[in-house]
Structure 1
Amino acid sequence: MSEGTYPQALGGVSVWCDQLVHGLPEHRWEAVALCVDGREPVRWELPENLERVVTIPLWGAGRTRLRRPGRATRSLFHAALEDFMVALVAPPDPDPRRGAAQRRRFLLALRGLHEFAAGGGEIGSALRSNAALGRLQDRWDDVTTMLGRGHPALAGRPRRLTLADAAQAAALIGAMLRPLAVPPVRADVVHCAMNGLSTLVAMAAKWTYDTPMLISEHGVYLRERYLEQVGGDLPYAVAVLLLSFQRSLAGAAYQVADALAPHSEYNRRWQLRNGADPERMWTMYNGIAPERFPSARTEPEEPTIVYVGRIDPLKDLHTLIRAFALVRRRVPDARLRIYGAAIDLPYRDSCAALIERLDLVGAARLEGSAPDAVAAYHSGNVVALTSISEGFPYSVIEAMACGRTMVCTNVGGVSEAVGDTGFVVAPRDPAAVADACTTLLLDPDLRRDMAVRARRRVLDRFTLAQSLEAYSSLYERLAAPTLDGRTPAGALR
């Protein structure tokens, strides 16, 4: 299961999904893709063992209710709705035991909403009803009264929740809950490529068929939802409700999952902080086929810094461009080549405008998508990544395998990938990025020594064969029932 990725989009998560499907041909696969409206084209060549692609549109027209829910179903909804609303308005409890209780209550609320949908109810319409919106406003008032206006957890929160804000939040959350209303998938294991909305599909399968549930996380889904709201245009109260929903959902998914496979120790720490059980966690790094990323034999004639990845705000290319302006003061003939598809067109335009404003036109170029990633990595002396959020990025280990030294920001599992074979600096710090790039451009012996060690590190730790073997073993453990019929990991239900 994935949200906004495989097989309808490119990017690191999609690469990983494709690796699993192609790399484990002995397994039969179904892909469940959460998407915008269901019209997204498939962007990948699908192998024969991928038997079906199921799309769940989140933002198109909702399904028409086929029958009026019975009285018992409606009663179940109202009981579930109460815990659901409380989770949306209540700040997280810092006490571990009370925090765990909050996550359990939210999980039970989600199950109640799933059963309401299975009984004929339409979750989105029910959340937007006058009664539900009034209850949401009442619960908001209750929390404000109970904690008091001066409580730090309520800092910046409006005293009252307006009807307009309640309706907007209910409409957005209702669309996000659509995976609970589709027929549950039938499988031996349901593997979520990320936390968040895709876990609703796995929860429904678990509640209906007792299917083992596995979650991988490349980036930290919840952290990226918080970053999305920085500078966002949603009303403050709506953003609070959406983030409360995402936080509660992430914690509930960690509770119910049979196994968690974070892609870095950084991600593992985030999962633990949000209630994950360390006994059900295995860190599994991404891997590449090193033969597809041969080490470069030469370097470009001009000192060149290369970026390869998406043109996206999370990659913080503004920091890279500003750093390059500083590099040019010490290395006047330096060049910057930025390869990547523009996920966010206004952001791409802002990068172009920044290049012009800093008088870097010609020296720094937006090259568009790289038809040959290896050639793109080889075109630089140094490869840079200045993201503000990452999981365990393929671009880092691909560049390392290509015999290129990295300058990266210390986010996600980047430092775990690079180790001592490159420079890892603080995010949003152009001066630190510039110092590292300048050092490498002016010291070829250091640069080449690090590059040799970088490729060796990939061969030792981050190969595709190692990754596939680890996942195949975990699938077998999850799918094999014990004597009492439960999966080996066990799970909270």
Structure 2
Amino acid sequence: MRIALVSEGTYPYAMGGVSIWCEQLIRGMPDYRWQVVALTVDGTERSVFATPANLDRVQSIPLWGGRRERRGGPPGTGFTGPYEMFLRALITPVEPVRPEVGRGLFLLALRGLHDYAAAGGDLGAALVSNEAVTMMLDAWHDLRVEQTAPAPTVADAVQATWLLEHMLRPLSAPVSEADIVHCSMNGLAMLVAMVAKWRYGTPLVMSEHGIYLRERYISYLHDDAPHAVRVMALSFFRSLAGAAYLITDVLAPHSAYNRRWQLHNGADPERMWTMYNGVEPADFPAATSEPEVPTIAFMGRVDPLKDLHTLIRAFALVRAEVPAARLRVFGGTPAVNRLYHESCERLITELGLEGAAVLEGRIERAADAYHAGSIVALTSISEGFPYTVVEAMACGRPTVCTNVGGVAEAVADTGRVVAPRDHAAVAAACVELLRDDELRHRLGAAARARVLEHFTLNQSLQMYRNVYEGLVSPLRAGDPPHHLGAARNPAPRLRPAAPSWAGQR
């Protein structure tokens, strides 16, 4: 079996939970042949992973590199028709009664734009042409019912079309044949999968670790782009997410929380199976001792989504109750988050925590980070089903986490789950566990037992095997409905969905 795994900004060029998951799939199924399609910044990225023997190819699709040479002349009717439909779906306010109509129109428009590129048209040039800018301004004037905010200026339209040109580049990129395309997330990666389905009829699987659309909303909260540009960008991501749910054959949310978001945005429950991340217990052995002083450990990248400011503020309150306590933050800092890293260091200084709270950088073995803490904390404002929580649990460490994504589903009653951005609640939970040895040890043992029962790597890999083999196996006439069972169950026989508007060939 040949599987194309699509990622955006993750594997194999960056560390993180999604990258770990990609590596687990490829190495955990050595009898399959894999290729990776990676959406990158400019194509100069270098892999941070050793290449598995069964990974045949990594294809980079740079989204933000320099402008390519453009062919002259205005775009033809092959572009203007689909682009008009694209703008109509993008700019018209969401119809609360029949939102699926807008999602379907958006998918049709994307197909039309791809066909224009496949027929030899320069889609990039067309998207930033004077004609495209004029069409956007006219569409906003004609279709935008609510005009409480100022209409976009020409400069706004130019900025918006520039953004769209970069984000729609996967529609023009070459795509290799495979038996299955598996997207590691929603969003721009799904454009690659759509092209594969339109060109070859390839079945599509989509996993969502975090909710891509929700994270786009969060990222635009404090963006300084003009209002109209933000409206069009978020409308694009919302429309794309909904269109992706329409065309995907199997949707594999990584938590029940993700599943609820997906259903709200148009996903078909008959195509959905919740599939939790798993870890290899041998790689995360139970800790046999505790640090000499009460210690809170954090493991993960330094990133605004991890909300380390809340953790640092919580630690200041912990120190008032447990003066000997330490906070050890393990994990690297992506280049784009350097300013956030500096803000964390400033906050530590402002709160007088130097020496007690330390950002220690990347660590060779994640298990060592968990063993270095008496407890493990995660104060994110957005998560899917985070590996760090399950890994810490496998090490026998109780966790203090914020209630985002599938965190509460992972932790259950083996730790403490509090509201996000509530540093006082985080502090109170940490103090409780640091002061009560019996409670801490009991919850740590229960945490490891929960991982062994529900969240092992073997269980996770077998679930994906069931999906893959079910998608490529023909469905016999009269087969009864089926559901993805436990790892020991035979592979389900899934009917690849092919809506008429998906335009399979």
User: Residue 426 of structure 2: which of 428, 433, 439 is its match?
Assistant: 433
Which residue is 1:205 aligned to?
A: 196
Q: Does the CA-based 8 Å contact 1:104-1:252 persist in structure 2?
A: yes
Which residue is 2:103 aligned to?
A: 103
Match of 2:268, as an amino acid? D
Which residue is 1:306 aligned to?
A: 297
Q: How does 1:10-409 map to 2 (within 5 A)?
A: 10-64=15-69, 74-95=76-97, 98-144=98-144, 147-149=145-147, 157-158=149-150, 160-343=151-334, 344-409=337-402
Relative to structure 2, which stretch is displaced further, 322-331 or 80-89? 80-89
Q: Does the CA-based 8 Å contact 1:80-1:112 persist in structure 2?
A: yes
TM superposition shift of 1:182: 1.3
Match of 1:360, as an amino acid? L
C-alpha separation between the residues in 1 aligned to 2:159 and 2:123?
Answer: 15
C-alpha separation between the residues in 2 aligned to 1:93 and 1:352?
Answer: 46
TM superposition shift of 1:62: 4.3
- The two structures, once aligned, show a CA RMSD in angstroms of 1.6
> How many aligned residue pairs are there?
478
TM superposition shift of 1:74: 2.9
Which residue is 1:412 aligned to?
A: 405
SS of 2:223's equivalent?
A: coil
Match of 2:31, as an amino acid? E
C-alpha separation between the residues in 2 aligned to 1:463 and 1:254?
Answer: 28
Q: Residues 262 and 406 (structure 1 numbering): CA distance in 2 closer, same or farther, change over 3 Å?
A: same
C-alpha separation between the residues in 1 aligned to 2:302 and 2:146?
Answer: 44
| 1:194-231: CA deviation from partner (whole Å, max 9, x where unpaired) | 00011111100100110001100000011111111111
Match of 1:489, as an amino acid? P
Match of 2:82, as an amino acid? A
Q: Does the CA-based 8 Å contact 1:124-1:171 persist in structure 2?
A: no
TM superposition shift of 1:489: 3.2
| 1:317-366: CA deviation from partner (whole Å, max 9, x where unpaired) | 00000000011111111111111111210000000000000011111111
| 1:251-277: CA deviation from partner (whole Å, max 9, x where unpaired) | 000000011001111111111010000
Is 1:470 the equivalent of 2:463?
A: yes
C-alpha separation between the residues in 2 aligned to 1:36 and 1:42?
Answer: 13
Q: Does the CA-based 8 Å contact 1:323-1:434 persist in structure 2?
A: yes
Which residue is 2:489 aligned to?
A: none
TM superposition shift of 1:63: 4.3
SS of 2:405's equivalent?
A: coil
Is 1:448 the equivalent of 2:441?
A: yes
TM-score by length of 1: 0.94
Which residue is 1:154 aligned to?
A: none
C-alpha separation between the residues in 2 aligned to 1:281 and 1:60?
Answer: 36
Q: Does the CA-based 8 Å contact 1:280-1:489 persist in structure 2?
A: no
TM-score by length of 2: 0.92
Residue identity over aligned pairs, in percent, reads 58
TM superposition shift of 1:140: 1.1
Q: Does the CA-based 8 Å contact 1:30-1:51 persist in structure 2?
A: yes
Q: Does the CA-based 8 Å contact 2:247-2:497 persist in structure 1?
A: no
Is 1:488 the equivalent of 2:498?
A: no
TM superposition shift of 1:64: 4.0
Give the gaps of 5 or more residues in structure 2. Answer: 1-5, 478-492
C-alpha separation between the residues in 1 aligned to 2:146 and 2:27?
Answer: 56
C-alpha separation between the residues in 2 aligned to 1:148 and 1:5?
Answer: 38
C-alpha separation between the residues in 2 aligned to 1:428 and 1:454?
Answer: 24
Is 1:423 the equivalent of 2:423?
A: no
Q: Residues 14 and 386 (structure 1 numbering): CA distance in 2 closer, same or farther, change over 3 Å?
A: same
SS of 1:488's equivalent?
A: coil
TM superposition shift of 1:91: 2.5
Relative to structure 2, which stretch is displaced further, 84-93 or 25-34? 84-93
C-alpha separation between the residues in 2 aligned to 1:372 and 1:50?
Answer: 24
TM superposition shift of 1:66: 7.2
Q: Does the CA-based 8 Å contact 1:6-1:13 persist in structure 2?
A: yes
C-alpha separation between the residues in 2 aligned to 1:91 and 1:80?
Answer: 19
